[in-house]
């Protein structure tokens, strides 16, 4: 009697691609949830929708610019007046004051375009220079900001080494400053504004204390070898302007979420300039 063997039907297994897609979707969902919990900004070059431009706390513009400029880099720029150009403390202070007031007009004005357009400064430049020529200001902006960052990282690393009495090397200090700055910058507009609201306070206190410790020696400065000349004044003034004018390349980046229906021009321009 012949027996007939029957084979059991094969069970269909879900393809590996479907399983990997599900895992990818779960990972992406968890990642976006973490971003939302941390208030990290997800938008890049896209314009901010008008319904999201609702901030009216214009004092945040003052505090963020105050924090950006309350650092040792500005002090090193100011030291060039007496050390390089032979200017007195009074002449150097007056040049810094008036050239800052003059050179911040442009950045303050450009900051008003943030609420109006909802776009970052270099994205706006594309409409002025065109699709291809915009590469020129973008590259110049990258070079300028890279130079600023290199200098401030080096100075910041040296400061950490100095306050640690040499237990921390300047190289390690540079890495620490760079990582902390990178982390904060990745968080975006909201976290940056919240951090900068208070960041300038300890910086101002530290600079004030340092000035007070050496205040008794300020009267012992060597008198300038000669009265201030036009060449020295203009040269040092251009150094001061070179510190302030490059901020125009990121001016509206810091105001894109503000309400365009409020007193934008008056409040934003005033806050940008008063931080000096």
Q: Residue 273: what pLDDT? A: 54
pTM of the predicted model over 0.85: no
Three-state secondary-structure class, residue 188: coil
> Other CB atoms closer than 10 Å to residue 244's CB: what's the count?
21
Tell me how far apart the alpha carbons of residues 177 and 174 are, in angstroms, rounded to a whole number.
5
pLDDT band of residue 96 (cuts 50, 70, 90) is: very high
Helix axis angle, 230-244 to 89-103, nearest 10°: 50
Q: Residue 39: what pLDDT? A: 62
Please compute the mean of the pLDDT values over residues 53-80 and round it to a whole number. 85
Alpha helices in 104-188, H assignment, sequence order:
105-111, 113-117, 121-129, 135-163, 170-187
Contact 200, 208 (CB under 8 A): no
Q: Which residues make Cβ contacts (< 8 Å) with residue 257, sequence separation at least 6?
A: 48, 52, 53, 54, 55, 115, 189, 190
Tokens 């314009």 locate to 47
What value does the mean pLDDT of the chain take? 80
- Sign of the C-alpha dihedral computed for residues 251, 257, 261 and 262 taken in this order: negative
pLDDT at 11 over 70: no
pLDDT at 99 over 90: yes
CA 44 to chain centre: 15
Q: Residue 176: what pLDDT? A: 92
> Other CB atoms closer than 10 Å to residue 245's CB: what's the count?
17
Q: Residue 235: what pLDDT? A: 93
The secondary element (H helix, E strand) that includes residue 225 is none
* Residue bearing the bigger pLDDT, 276 or 225: 225
Tokens 């003034």 locate to 237
Q: Residue 98: what pLDDT? A: 93
Phi, psi of 55 (to 5 degrees): -70, 140
In the chain, where the domains are located? 51-215+247-274
């Amino acid at each position: 009697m012949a027996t007939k063997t029957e084979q059991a039907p094969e069970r269909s297994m879900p393809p590996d691609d479907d399983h990997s897609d599900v895992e990818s979707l779960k990972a992406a969902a968890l990642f976006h949830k973490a971003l939302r919990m941390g208030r990290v900004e997800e938008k890049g070059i896209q314009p901010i929708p008008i319904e999201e431009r609702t901030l009216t706390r214009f004092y945040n513009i003052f505090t963020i610019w105050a924090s950006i400029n309350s650092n040792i880099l500005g002090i090193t720029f100011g030291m060039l007046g007496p050390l390089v150009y032979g200017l007195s403390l009074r002449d150097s202070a007056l040049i810094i004051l008036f050239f800052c007031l003059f050179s911040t007009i442009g950045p303050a004005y450009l900051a008003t375009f943030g609420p109006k357009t909802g776009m970052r400064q270099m994205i706006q430049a594309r409409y002025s220079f065109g699709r291809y020529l915009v590469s020129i200001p973008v590259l110049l902006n990258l070079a300028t900001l890279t130079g600023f960052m290199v200098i401030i990282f080096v100075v910041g690393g040296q400061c950490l080494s100095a306050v640690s009495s040499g237990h921390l090397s300047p190289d390690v200090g540079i890495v620490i400053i760079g990582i902390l700055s990178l982390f904060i910058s990745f968080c975006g507009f909201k976290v940056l504004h919240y951090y900068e609201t208070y960041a300038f306070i300890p910086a101002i206190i530290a600079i004030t204390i340092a000035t007070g410790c050496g205040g008794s020696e300020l009267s012992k400065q060597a008198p300038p070898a000669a009265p201030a000349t036009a060449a020295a004044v203009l040269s040092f003034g251009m150094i001061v302007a070179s510190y302030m004018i490059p901020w125009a390349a990121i001016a509206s980046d810091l105001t894109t979420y503000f309400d365009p229906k409020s007193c934008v021009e008056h409040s934003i321009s005033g806050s940008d300039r008063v931080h000096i």
